[in-house]
């Protein structure tokens, strides 16, 4: 399917690894120009090097947990091109008991997972609406609907992103701009693999057997009973970023293998 993304410019926050990098790769394959972002200049440069064979890719190092870092990214991105597609992907998580999460850690979650998306959207969405064209996607999580007890701050921020997405979509009424949230479920990223390796070692199990048991014990409602691949999530994002998805607005698109039981 031709998604008609040739020549479109996409800005993806937090895209030097995992789902963000996978989205960049998918959009490049579809002919889009991509701006990747991360805090480390070294990692940004490496990502650009990894992806440059696929198409036109730029890299901007900026810490989006701070207003100055967000403004730096915005300024440099606009010097490259007009942004047609904004994908707010930046986020972090930690498995930690609720009572052990400090006020400072809660603030970090708020600044990184929520305010980075707010700052980017506040700048770029009005420009999209003014020219009557654009796509804004917030990468949330199934945890935003089905909170994880060991990851309550992360889950809360993803719920906030879902609400933010719907609210922003209301601002696009009658235009050709769309805003949607994407809700990946457990996805096999480098970070997840490292986490599972540590968990398996703690229980004296090998990674393969621990992973096989993971869904039976932790996600029994999953219908696919496996981790989603980065490519599966990225292809969904690419479709929503395209003209083919022009009638999809204000939604929370699930890519979570049926974990959330609903009709």
CA–CA–CA angle 17, 20, 22 (5° rounding): 80
- The candidate with the shortest Cα–Cα distance to 245, out of 183, 164, 178, is 178
Residues marked as catalytic = 154
193 touches 146 (CB < 8 A): no
Radius of gyration in angstroms for the set of CA atoms belonging to the chain, rounded to a whole number:
18
The Cα–Cα gap between 31 and 8 comes to: 8
The Cα–Cα gap between 89 and 125 comes to: 16
> Longest Cα pair distance anywhere in the chain, in angstroms?
57
């Amino acid at each position: 399917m031709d998604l008609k993304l040739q020549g479109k410019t996409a800005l993806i926050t937090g895209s030097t690894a995992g789902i963000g990098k996978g989205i960049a790769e998918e959009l490049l394959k579809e002919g889009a120009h991509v701006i990747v972002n991360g805090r480390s200049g070294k990692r940004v440069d490496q990502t650009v090097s990894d992806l440059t064979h696929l198409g036109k890719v730029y890299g901007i190092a900026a810490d989006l947990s701070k207003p100055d870092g967000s403004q730096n990214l915005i300024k440099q991105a606009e010097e490259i091109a007009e942004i047609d597609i904004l994908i707010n992907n930046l986020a972090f998580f930690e498995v930690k008991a609720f009572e052990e999460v400090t006020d400072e850690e809660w603030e970090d979650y708020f600044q990184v997972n929520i305010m980075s998306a707010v700052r980017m959207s506040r700048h770029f969405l009005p420009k999209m609406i003014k020219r009557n064209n654009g796509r804004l996607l917030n990468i949330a999580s199934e945890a935003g609907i089905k909170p994880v007890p060991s990851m309550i701050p992360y889950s809360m921020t993803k719920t906030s992103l879902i609400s933010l997405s719907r609210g922003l979509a209301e601002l696009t009424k009658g235009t050709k701009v769309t805003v949607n949230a994407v809700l990946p479920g457990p996805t096999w990223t480098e970070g997840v693999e490292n986490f599972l390796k540590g968990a398996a070692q703690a229980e004296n199990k090998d990674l393969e057997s621990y992973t096989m048991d993971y869904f039976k014990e932790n996600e029994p409602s999953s219908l696919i009973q496996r981790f989603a691949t980065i490519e599966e999530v990225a292809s969904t994002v690419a479709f929503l970023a395209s003209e083919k998805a022009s009638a999809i607005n204000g939604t929370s698109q699930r890519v979570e293998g049926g974990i959330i039981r609903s009709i």
